[in-house]
């Protein structure tokens, strides 16, 4: 067995989750390979932390505390906590949207459609044909 293969299965091996043949192969490899054996010891020492952390003493007063908390008038759930935060944000968004739509509507009321077209056409004419703005004849005569 190669060292890499041994190391991959070490956790399952130390937890006793490997079948007989596989476990035997790892055991034999660990007997012959010092590097893997040292790593197995290291890994076991790290993994032993889990067993230590599992030992937590339950709180004997938890039931009483929960009883007290449940008797409080309102145990607010997260949805209720979120609601007050969402309302101002939504109201502000609606306000901004109404402002934009109102602005567009107002603009259309003040400048009628045909007048808008005329203005656009005039602006385009200036850009395309600047001789109307500054006729060549008047330029020559001016000289």
CA distance 12 to 95: 61
CA-closest candidate to residue 44, choices 4, 1, 7: 7
Would you give the binding string for another protein spanning residues 71-100, x where CB under 8 A is met? Answer: ----x-x-----------------------
Q: Which is nearer to another protein, 72 or 114 (CB)?
A: 72
Would you give the binding string for another protein spanning residues 37-76, x where CB under 8 A is met? Answer: --x--xx-xxxxxx-xxx-x-xx--xx-xxx-xx----x-
Nearest approach, Cβ of residue 39 and another protein (Å): 6
Residue 140 class from Cβ within 10 Å (0-12 exposed, 13-18 middle, 19+ buried)?
exposed
CB 23 within 8 A of CB 49: no
Site size toward another protein, by CB under 8 A = 29
Contact positions vs another protein (CB under 8 A): 7-8, 10-12, 39, 42-43, 45-50, 52-54, 56, 58-59, 62-63, 65-67, 69-70, 75, 77
């Amino acid at each position: 067995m190669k060292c890499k293969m041994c190391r991959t299965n070490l956790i399952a091996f130390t937890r006793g989750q490997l079948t007989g043949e596989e476990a035997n192969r790892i055991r034999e490899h660990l007997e012959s390979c010092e590097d893997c054996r040292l790593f197995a010891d290291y890994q076991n020492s790290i993994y032993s932390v889990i067993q230590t952390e599992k030992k937590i003493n339950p709180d004997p007063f938890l039931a009483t505390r929960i009883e007290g908390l449940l008797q409080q008038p309102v145990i607010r759930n997260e949805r209720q906590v979120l609601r007050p935060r969402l309302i101002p944000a939504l109201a502000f968004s609606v306000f901004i949207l109404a402002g934009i739509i109102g602005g567009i509507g107002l603009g259309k009321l003040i400048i009628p459609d045909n007048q808008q077209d005329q203005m656009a056409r005039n602006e385009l004419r200036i850009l395309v044909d600047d001789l109307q703005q500054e006729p060549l004849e008047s330029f020559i005569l001016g000289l």
